Every structure is written in C-alpha cells, then in structure tokens.
Amino acid sequence: MAEAKAGCELIEVMLAKGDARLRGVGLAVNARGLLDMTLDGKPSAFRDASACNLDSPTDGFDLDCDWDHPAGEDEAAERDFARLTGRLNACLPTPLKEVAPVVYTEAQIKELAAKYGPSFEEHLRANKDLGQFRASYPVDEDNDVSLDVDLALDRDDRNGKLQISLTFSRY
C-alpha cells in the first residue's frame, strides 16, 4: 500500500485503507473568502482555491479544486502551479508524472465538433494545456481501490484567464 510522507495528513487520509477517515475531509471558507481543503476542520496545505467540489465516499470519492488567475498573471499562475506540484511531490509516495499535452489535428477537432457541437470546438481551440501531472497509488488492493491525483494548468485564450486544477479521485 502507498503511504504519505510525514506532515501530509490530508494525503495520508486519502491513502488510508477503508473510507472511515475520509469523513474528516472537508472544505472551509477562509478569511480571504477562498476555499481551503480541510481535515477534521483544520486547513491543510491546499488553500485559497477559487472553487471546489467534494463528493462523499459512499460510492467513491472526489475532491477537486481550482485556483483562478486573471489575464496577465501568467507568472503568478506558473509560480503557484510549481509550488503546488512541489507540495504534492513532497507528500505523495512517489512524484507525479508529467503528461504530454494532447494536440488535436484539424480533422479531430471537426469530428469532435460534429459530435459535441460548436461550443466544444471553440473550447478545444481556445484552451491551452500549460502543464499537467498525474499519478495513481494503490489504496486497498482487496477492493481494487486506488487514489488518482491530477494536476493541471490551463489558459483560455479567449480571455487570457489561467486555471490550476487539482483533483483527488478514489475509486
């Protein structure tokens, strides 16, 4: 089984066998009006998110948060992305693996637009993958459960906004 490194209680809980400890995972609005991932009501190392979603552990578990940066703040977004990557790598049993960006051909874009509509085509053309990391860790081999971690930095060329996304999925 994978284990978190010392000082990384939130990751430790997500890697724990069984779902009992997941009940302590939550979200809280901080003094800045942003969201912190919490464990037993205490903020974790993952703070100041713009938006988060939390799905209960009844049929699996998802915790995902986004950190938004306005147009022109590329340096700040890249710095925050590097810090988040470093923090995760310091906590996880093995480092995240960089994922090559998906590049669609013109034919693939047209095919997907025909299937999902023009707004999806616009999305594919406008969103740029500036960095992506993933990893998967076994949690409970008896029940075939693993923790998947996804971290991405994207820019929307329509408005220049940048977004960092972090997702913990346990299925």
Count the domains in the chain: 1
Q: Does residue 145 lie within any of the structural domains?
A: yes
pLDDT tens digits, one per residue of 110-140: 999 999 999 999 999 999 999 999 999 999 8
Of 56, 91, 83, nearest in space to 67 by CA: 83
* Each residue's pLDDT tens digit, 19-67: 888 999 999 999 999 999 999 999 998 999 999 999 988 778 999 999 9
Tell me if 120 is assigned to some domain: no
| 163 within some domain | yes
Is residue 40 in some structural domain?
A: yes
Residue 93 lies in a domain: yes
Average pLDDT of the chain? 93
Estimate the share of the chain in helix, then strand, then coil, as percent rounded to the nearest 5.
30, 35, 30
Residue 168 has which token pair? 């913990």
Instruction: Answer yes or no: is 116 within a domain.
Output: no
d(CA 129, CA 81): 13
- Please indicate, yes or no, if residue 106 is contained in any of the structural domains: no
Rounded-to-integer distance, Cα 47 and Cα 165, Å: 13
State the pTM of this model: 0.89
pLDDT of residue 1: 56
Residue 106 has pLDDT above 90, yes or no: yes
